[in-house]
């Protein structure tokens, strides 16, 4: 069986970042993905519609999203679909489908030239709590992952150096290069 999602869209909101109790970075955002229109629908003057997809990124992908992405940025997301259960502030149980990121790539140049040197592109402010996060199953077993304290990692610049950084620490080798087909529109 295969659970693989590849989406290209624009961030509908600034990423919201936080850390788990064990210091692992997690960032949430939503992307707007246009629905394709048939030629007939275009001729009839129908407007494009978009789906707003929830995305959650962990570790280096979370830090990349928090440091370099902001509302309106065009991104490619590769990951898996997951249903998350949470309880709202008024006590109601909810379920939400979200994409858990394996690979995340910005498809635009940074708006701020200092972003290439680790400048902050967006995010900022206090994240809103929508529900608690548990570490993904692979995080609990260690697996050689970076477990530096949250304060040390938050102060360090994002690894990979730049908006076109790519997570090379994927846990699923069969799909490591799935997004390599996407040409870099800014390659010299």
User: For residue 102, what is the domain's CATH number?
Assistant: 2.40.50.140
User: Is-contact 76 183, C-beta < 8 A?
Assistant: no
Residue-number span of the structural domain to which 71 is assigned: 5-36+47-157
Q: Identify the pLDDT of residue 36.
A: 86
Q: Identify the pLDDT of residue 20.
A: 95
**SS3 sequence of 143-165:** CCCCCCCHHHHHHCCCCCCCCCC
Mean pLDDT, rounded, for 112-132? 41
- Does the structure show a pLDDT above 50 at 119? no
> What is the percent of the chain where pLDDT is above 70?
59
Is residue 175 domain-resident? no
Is residue 170 domain-resident? no
Q: Identify the pLDDT of residue 114.
A: 56
Is residue 185 domain-resident? no
Is residue 149 domain-resident? yes
Is residue 58 domain-resident? yes
Both structure tokens of 157: 């610049």
Is residue 73 domain-resident? yes
Mean pLDDT, rounded, for 127-137? 43
Is residue 167 domain-resident? no
Mean pLDDT, rounded, for 82-99? 93
- Does the structure show a pLDDT above 80 at 17? yes
CA atoms within 13 A on the CB side of 121: 29
CA-to-CA separations, 149 to 19, 129, 141, 170, 179, in angstroms, rounded: 10, 21, 17, 22, 31
Mean pLDDT, rounded, for 147-164? 39
- Does the structure show a pLDDT above 60 at 72? yes
Of the candidates 174, 119, 114, 145, the residue with the CA atom closest to the CA atom of residue 25:
145
Q: Identify the pLDDT of residue 149.
A: 37
Q: Identify the pLDDT of residue 46.
A: 86
Q: Identify the pLDDT of residue 125.
A: 36
Q: In total, how many domains does the chain have?
A: 1
Is residue 188 domain-resident? no
CA-to-CA separations, 118 to 1, 87, 88, 114, 166, in angstroms, rounded: 39, 36, 35, 7, 15
């Amino acid at each position: 069986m295969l659970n693989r999602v590849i989406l290209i869209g624009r961030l509908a909101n600034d990423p919201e970042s936080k850390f788990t109790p064990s210091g692992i970075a997690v960032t949430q955002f939503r992307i707007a993905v246009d629905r394709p229109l048939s030629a007939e629908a275009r001729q009839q003057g129908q407007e494009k519609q978009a789906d707003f997809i929830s995305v959650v990124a962990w570790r280096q992908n979370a830090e990349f999203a928090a440091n370099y992405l902001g509302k309106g940025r065009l991104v490619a997301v590769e990951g898996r679909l997951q249903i998350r259960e949470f309880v709202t502030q008024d006590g109601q149980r909810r379920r939400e489908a979200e994409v858990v990121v394996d690979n995340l790539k910005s498809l635009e140049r940074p708006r701020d030239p200092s972003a290439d040197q680790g400048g902050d592109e967006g995010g900022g402010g206090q994240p809103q709590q929508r529900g608690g996060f548990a570490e993904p199953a692979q995080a609990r077993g260690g697996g050689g992952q970076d477990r530096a304290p949250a304060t040390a990692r938050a102060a360090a610049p994002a690894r990979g150096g730049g908006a076109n950084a790519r997570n090379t620490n994927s846990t699923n080798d069969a799909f490591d290069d799935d997004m390599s087909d996407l040409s870099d529109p800014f390659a010299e």
